[in-house]
Amino acid sequence: MEELLFEINETARAVRRLFDQRASAMGVTRAQWRVLARLKREPGLRQVELAERLDMEPITLCRIVDRLEEAGLVERKTDPSDRRAWLLELTAKADPLVKQLRILARGIAEEAMDRISENELRQLQDGLAAIRANVAHAGELRGKAART
């Protein structure tokens, strides 16, 4: 079982590295494409929420958002419920780049999953979802035990 977790990690790392190589030709770093992709999925996140979702330090995210904002790809808007907080949105200028990155990701996914049947992919996806659920449950139990 330990070997399976190693394989999952190494596979994810290999896919990330391939994406990085190809995305760099578009002038985008891994950190930047992670921010753009998450904001496409979840527009209007607070910076602190985005940092949590990306497992990134808030100051690190702030620097990345600064660069994306300077490039006209991300916009900070004040949070009406908290003047100290910023909500992040992609700009219209980001749309073509995000579309290109999605096409790139789709192509890499197709390459990575070539010669794997739909049934095998579905089983793998179900298995990975079960592993994530087990990990989340273990984390919840540990958190409850720490509070008592």
Please report which confidence band the pLDDT of residue 1 belongs to, taking 50, 70 and 90 as the band edges: confident
**Residues 110-134, mean pLDDT to the nearest whole number:** 96
Supply the pTM of this predicted model. 0.78
Tell me, what's the pLDDT at 21?
A: 94
**Residues 81-109, mean pLDDT to the nearest whole number:** 94
Q: Which residue has the higher pLDDT, 84 or 114?
A: 114
- Are the C-beta atoms of 87 and 79 separated by less than 8 Å? yes
**Residues 140-148, mean pLDDT to the nearest whole number:** 72
Residue 105, CA distances (Å) to 22, 49, 53 in order? 10, 24, 20
Please report which confidence band the pLDDT of residue 132 belongs to, taking 50, 70 and 90 as the band edges: very high
Cα 129 to Cα 107: distance, rounded to the nearest angstrom:
23
**Residues 102-120, mean pLDDT to the nearest whole number:** 96
| DSSP secondary structure letter of residue 116 | -
**Which amino acid, residue 19?**
F
**Residues 72-77, mean pLDDT to the nearest whole number:** 97
Residue 44: CA count within 13 A, CB half-sphere: 3
Percentage of residues in the chain having pLDDT higher than 90:
86
Tell me, what's the pLDDT at 148?
A: 62
Cα 91 to Cα 69: distance, rounded to the nearest angstrom:
9
Please report which confidence band the pLDDT of residue 83 belongs to, taking 50, 70 and 90 as the band edges: confident
What digits encode the pLDDT tens for the residues 21-69?
Answer: 999 999 999 899 999 999 999 999 999 999 999 999 999 999 999 999 9
